[in-house]
Structure 1
Amino acid sequence: MLHSLIMGEGRPMVILHGFLGMADNWKTLGKQFSENGFNVHILDQRNHGRSPHSDLFDYQEMAQDVKNYCQKHDLSDIILIGHSMGGKIAMIAAQQFPELIEKLIIADIAPKTYPPHHSDIIKALESVDFSKVNRRSDADEMLEPFINDFGTRQFLLKSLYRKKDKSYGWRFNLPVLGAAQNSVGIHEDFIEPVQIPTLFIRGGKSGYITDSDKLLIDHAFAKAELATITEAGHWLHAEQPEKFYDYVIDFVK
């Protein structure tokens, strides 16, 4: 069963993080939602965070993970939020289990296939020699030659943890996720359009959802809206949390 952060009472809201992320990435926003009438469940996907590791990376299975979690916690008519990889999983869940979801929010990912683009990050993560890591800053220094952006490094370092033997490691299952990097961007065409009210929110500086992608969105989601946070990139919920929150609240209420 997937690990999760649970907070608040009220309407059920399930949040799915992106590739190489974890539930903690959404903790601040989750708390804000929980203080405004929502029972928030922020999940660690399989092979991420504190959830079990698996040799399988498959969106159908990961969507089933979400359904299984909701059944275990007796959640129905959920508001489902998914960012990037989490958005891919949310889209599959909406197609496979529409009866589970009341409203859907997809953050900065479109219903299309993306070319592989995580190889530099995977190489950076694989370059970290944990025998020489005594503190967080040591791992940061090893990542820096591969990843110039400070924010990206801090995002990845969220998954750094100290094991029982006091050595450091990654919480995510790097061998499996590294091998699956070519599958992260895939999209399978839907047989029927999803009828769930859906809000796509894109970052204006991101490029993950282009203007022409609106046609794809409307084809796959019959009740879709598209909003843009102009000042944000791909991590729009972290870069502009207040605007992201406002868009979600306006849509679900």
Structure 2
Amino acid sequence: MGLVVSNGRLYHADMLNTIVHGDPTALPPLVIAHGLYGSARNWGVIAHRLSDERQVIAVDMRNHAHSFWDPLHDYPALASDIAQVIEQLGGPVDVLGHSMGGKAAMALTLQHGDLVRKLVVADIAPVAYGHSQIQFIEAMRAVDMSQVHRRSDAEQQLAKLGVERALQSFFTQSLDVTGKRWLLNLDVLADQMPNIMGFPELDGAWDGSALFLSGAASDYVLPEHRDHIRGLFPGARFAKIPGAGHWLHAEKPREFEAAVRTFLNA
């Protein structure tokens, strides 16, 4: 595992940063992959609670938080990153991915199915979406770091730029206040947005146990997506969390945790 320096930052080359919760048990470990603009740290509470039964490893995806930066950000690459982590754990493991992380988890399972025992995909489908998340990159770029002395300073600027309150605090979790910089490779994420919003054509299918868990108020996983999902994941089951939108794990954490725990232990 080599080290590289880029823009004055030190990176582990080609190895994701991880946050480990709990010790190994008789149950398979759970690897969690966060969504766009997120981090392993976002999953701390749920990961800690699930670690009462099994070891939980949350990863920082490439171009996010404390993982390496790379000009390529597509799902085969993200899947390969996670596969490397699982191989170090001795696999196979259970995998949970939300949004971008859910697409990465699906690509992982389709390309490296022997490394996955059970799959949980949180509020995303293996399809291309017509919208973009570029407006949030533009908002983060517009923050005047010379005026940022604490996270709340950045949140106030984001509010004036039209970013809703919940996302202000979410984004600023990836803010290095001391270094006055985002821990997000905004240039690459902007450049690679078509890959992030899309999903690659991958051969084959994975017939293991998969749960597609959605927010009932979200429109990311629609009824018309189900046939395509079942074509790739014949063992797919579907469930919805009432009163939750796309950020179901943050909006309904106890219900989300219970659904994941029940599925993994079934």
Deviation above 3 Å: which 4+ runs of structure 1? Answer: none
Structure 2 unaligned segments of length 5 or more: list them. 1-14
- TM-superposed deviation, 1:232: 0.4
- Residue 211 of structure 1 corresponds to 223
Query: Is the counterpart of residue 72 in structure 1 residue 84 in structure 2?
Result: no
Distance of 1:185 and 1:196 partners within structure 2: 25
Contact 2:30 2:96 in 1 (8 A): yes
Code of the residue aligned with 1:19 in structure 2: it is L
For residue 92 of structure 1, the aligned residue among 90, 93, 107 is: 107
Deviation of residue 194 (structure 1)?
1.5
Pick aligned residue for 2:42 from 25, 28, 39: 25
Deviates more, 1:103-112 or 1:166-175: 166-175
Maintained 8 Å contact 1:15/1:82: yes
CA deviations on 1:138-193 (whole Å, 9 max, x unpaired) are: 2112111333421011111110113xxx3411111111112222221111233222
Change (3 A) 1:148 1:61: closer
Distance 1:250 1:72 in 2: 26
- What residue is the counterpart of 1:14 in the other structure? 31
Cα offset, 1:132, TM superposition: 1.9
User: TM-score by structure 2 length?
Assistant: 0.90
In structure 2, what residue type is equivalent to 1:200?
F
Mapping of residues 1-253 of structure 1, within 5 Å: 1-8=15-22, 9-10=24-25, 11-35=28-52, 37-74=53-90, 76-162=91-177, 166-253=178-265
| Deviation by residue 1:85-132 (Cα, 9 ceiling, x = unmatched) | 000100000001110000000000011111242122111011011122
Deviates more, 1:136-145 or 1:76-85: 136-145
CA contact (8 A) 2:75 2:200 kept: no
CA RMSD of the aligned region, Å? 1.2
Larger mean Cα displacement after TM superposition, 94-103 or 190-199: 190-199
Task: Output the amino acid matched with 2:137.
Answer: I
Q: Secondary structure at the match of 1:237?
A: helix
Structure 1 residue 211: deviation in Å?
1.9
Once residues 145 and 219 of structure 1 are traced to their aligned partners in structure 2, the CA distance between those partners, rounded to angstroms, is 44
**More deviation, 219-228/174-183:** 174-183
Which amino acid is 2:223 matched to?
Answer: D
SS at match of 1:182: helix
Query: C-alpha separation between the residues in 1 aligned to 2:169 and 2:215?
Result: 20
8 Å Cα contact 2:30-2:56 kept in structure 1:
yes
TM-score by length of 1: 0.94
Q: How many residue pairs were aligned?
A: 248
Counterparts of 2:175 and 2:59, CA distance in 1: 18
- Summarize deviations over 1:51-94 as a string: whole Å, max 9, x none: 111122121111111111122233x1200000000001000000
CA distance in 1, matches of 2:121, 2:253: 15
Runs (5+) with no aligned partner, structure 1: none
| Number of the residue aligned with 2:3 | none
SS in 2 for 1:52: coil
Query: 2: distance between equivalents of 1:246 and 1:216?
Result: 27
Q: For 2:243 and 2:69, how far apart are their aligned partners in 1? A: 36
Q: Percent identity?
A: 34
Residues in 2 aligned to 1:100 and 1:72: alpha-carbon distance in whole angstroms: 11
Q: Tell me the secondary structure at the aligned position of residue 213 of structure 2.
A: strand
